[in-house]
Structure 1
Amino acid sequence: MGNTWHYRDNVVPDLTTSLVGYDVEATDGKIGSVDEESNEAGASYLVVDTGFWIFGKKVVLPASTITRIDPQEQKVYLARTKQEIKDAPEFDENTYRDSAYQRQVGDYYGRYPLL
């Protein structure tokens, strides 16, 4: 799945602390909160509930999109804009763990340079 699903070298998640419930900030504002996380080697991601921003929608964000985790503020910061996240492949509760969907998401986010 490539580096898209790995945390950046400067982002070291505390694997003893869950990110579920943390607020998620795009480069241009809050997009929602962490609903689920996976720290599987080579397949790390967050599922973010966007709440009212994109009504009733969730998005999968590969670990490489995360630029910083602030445990004091309970926030996750991303290197993507709201629009880039909104335009990502549609979340499907039944298929988001499938390799085909993850490849689609990885290809989408892989188009953008690491900021």
Structure 2
Amino acid sequence: MVLVGYTVEATDGEVGAIDRRTYEGRQVLVTRADGALLKVDVNTVERIDHRDHKVYLGVSRRELTPR
């Protein structure tokens, strides 16, 4: 499943978009608007909306790990 370019939404707002260098083990790399990379564990994904190209997480932005 290709999710490159999908917007990532945490419980408290937008995080960024899935990067081309998508997978690193069980984590997805997300590029924030400021260019920083975040590691998002795949277990935090609650749902994927393919129509709107969005990935919804079950955690807040504070809970995400900077790369």
TM-score normalised by L of structure 1: 0.52
Which residue in the other structure is 1:30 paired with?
A: 14
Once the two structures are aligned, what percentage of the paired residues are identical?
Answer: 36
Alignment size in residue pairs: 66
Per-residue CA shift, 1:80-102, capped at 9, x if unaligned? Answer: 101222xx2x41xxxxxxxxxxx
Question: Which of residues 52, 60, 67 in structure 2 aligns to 1:81?
Answer: 60
Per-residue CA shift, 1:22-72, capped at 9, x if unaligned? Answer: 00000011110000323x8xx332100011xxx331111111010101100
- Opposite residue 29 of structure 1, the aligned amino acid is G
Structure 2 residue runs of 5 or longer lacking an equivalent are none
Q: Report 1 or 2 for greater relative contact order, CA contacts < 8 Å, sequence distance ≥ 6.
A: 2
Structure 1 residue runs of 5 or longer lacking an equivalent are 1-14, 92-115
Query: Could you say which structure has the higher helix fraction?
Result: 1
Q: Which has the larger radius of gyration?
A: 1
CA RMSD of aligned residues (A): 1.6
Which residue in the other structure is 1:46 paired with?
A: 28
Query: Could you say which structure has the higher strand fraction?
Result: 2
Runs ≥4 residues deviating over 3 A: none
